[in-house]
Structure 1
Amino acid sequence: MPPLLALPFPAIDPVAVAIGPLAIKWYALAYIVGLVGGWFYAKRLAASPSLWGAVRRPSAADIDDLIVWVALGVVLGGRVGYVLFYNLSAYLANPSEILAIWRGGMSFHGGFLGAVLALVLFARARGLNPYAMLDLAAVVVPIGLFFGRIANFVNGELWGRPAPEFPYAVVFPNGGPVPRHPSQLYEAATEGAILFVVMAFAARRVGFRRPGLLGGLFVLGYAIARTACEFFREPDPQLGFLFGSEGSVLGGGITMGMLLCLPMAVVGLVFIVRALRGSTRPLPRRGEDPAGSGASSGASSA
Structure 2
Amino acid sequence: MPPHTGLPFPDIDPVLFEIGPFALRWYALAYIVGILLAWRYMRALIQNDRLWAGQKRPTAADLDDFVLWGTLGIIIGGRLGYVLFYNPAYYLEHPAEALAIWTGGMSFHGGFAGTVIAMVLFAASRGVSVLTLFDLAGCAAPIGIFFGRIANFINAELWGRPTDVPWAFVFPGAGPEPRHPSQLYEAALEGVILFLVLRVLSYRFQLLQKPGFLAGAFAFGYGIGRSIAEFYRVPDAHIGYLSGFFTMGMLLSVPMILAGLAVMIWSATRKPKAVAE
Residue 194 of structure 1 pairs with residue 226 of structure 2: no
How far apart are the structure 1 equivalents of 2:96 and 2:150? 29
How far apart are the structure 2 equivalents of 1:189 and 1:221? 12
2:18 alignment partner, SS class: strand
1:54 shift after superposition: 4.5
Question: Do 1:73 and 1:111's aligned partners in 2 also have CA atoms closer than 8 Å?
Answer: yes
Question: Do 1:5 and 1:168's aligned partners in 2 also have CA atoms closer than 8 Å?
Answer: no
Tell me the equivalent position of 2:269.
277
1:18 alignment partner, SS class: strand
Question: Do 2:28 and 2:102's aligned partners in 1 also have CA atoms closer than 8 Å?
Answer: no
How far apart are the structure 1 equivalents of 2:55 and 2:125? 16
How far apart are the structure 1 equivalents of 2:246 and 2:153? 23
Question: Do 2:78 and 2:107's aligned partners in 1 also have CA atoms closer than 8 Å?
Answer: yes
Question: Do 2:194 and 2:218's aligned partners in 1 also have CA atoms closer than 8 Å?
Answer: yes
1:60 shift after superposition: 1.1
Tell me the equivalent position of 1:35.
35
How far apart are the structure 1 equivalents of 2:262 and 2:4? 48
How far apart are the structure 2 equivalents of 1:32 and 1:96? 24
The one-letter code matched in structure 2 to 1:23 is A
How far apart are the structure 1 equivalents of 2:171 and 2:261? 37
Instruction: Give the percent of matched residue pairs that are identical in Structure 1 and Structure 2.
Output: 53
Tell me the equivalent position of 1:58.
58
Matching of residues 196-215 of structure 1 within 5 Å:
196-204=195-203, 205-215=205-215
Residue 26 of structure 1 pairs with residue 29 of structure 2: no
Tell me the equivalent position of 2:170.
171
Matching of residues 134-149 of structure 1 within 5 Å:
134-149=134-149
Tell me the equivalent position of 1:90.
90
Question: Do 2:27 and 2:102's aligned partners in 1 also have CA atoms closer than 8 Å?
Answer: no
Tell me the equivalent position of 1:265.
257
1:201 shift after superposition: 1.0
Question: Do 1:170 and 1:181's aligned partners in 2 also have CA atoms closer than 8 Å?
Answer: yes
Tell me the equivalent position of 1:247.
none
1:283 shift after superposition: 4.9
The one-letter code matched in structure 2 to 1:110 is G
* Normalised TM-score (structure 1): 0.87
1:282 shift after superposition: 5.0
82 and 282 in structure 1: CA distance in 2 versus 1, 3 angstrom threshold: farther
How far apart are the structure 2 equivalents of 1:233 and 1:16? 26
User: What per-residue deviation string (whole Å, max 9, x for no partner) do you get for residues 29-60 of structure 1?
Assistant: 10011011001111111112232234321111
User: What per-residue deviation string (whole Å, max 9, x for no partner) do you get for residues 85-122 of structure 1?
Assistant: 11111222232322222222210000000001111111
How far apart are the structure 2 equivalents of 1:31 and 1:40? 14
How far apart are the structure 1 equivalents of 2:173 and 2:55? 50
1:151 alignment partner, SS class: helix
Tell me the equivalent position of 2:181.
182
Aligned length: 274
1:278 shift after superposition: 2.1
- Structure 1, unmatched stretches of 5+, are 245-252, 285-289, 292-302
In terms of fraction of residues, the more helix-rich structure is 2
Question: Do 1:5 and 1:166's aligned partners in 2 also have CA atoms closer than 8 Å?
Answer: no
Tell me the equivalent position of 1:157.
157
2:17 alignment partner, SS class: strand
Question: Do 1:73 and 1:114's aligned partners in 2 also have CA atoms closer than 8 Å?
Answer: yes
How far apart are the structure 2 equivalents of 1:160 and 1:283? 50
What RMSD in Å do the two structures reach over aligned CA positions?
1.5
The one-letter code matched in structure 2 to 1:15 is V
The structure with the larger Rg is: 1
* Normalised TM-score (structure 2): 0.95
15 and 226 in structure 1: CA distance in 2 versus 1, 3 angstrom threshold: same
Question: Do 1:109 and 1:260's aligned partners in 2 also have CA atoms closer than 8 Å?
Answer: yes
How far apart are the structure 2 equivalents of 1:52 and 1:161? 44
How far apart are the structure 2 equivalents of 1:173 and 1:114? 32
- Structure 2, unmatched stretches of 5+, are none
1:226 alignment partner, SS class: helix
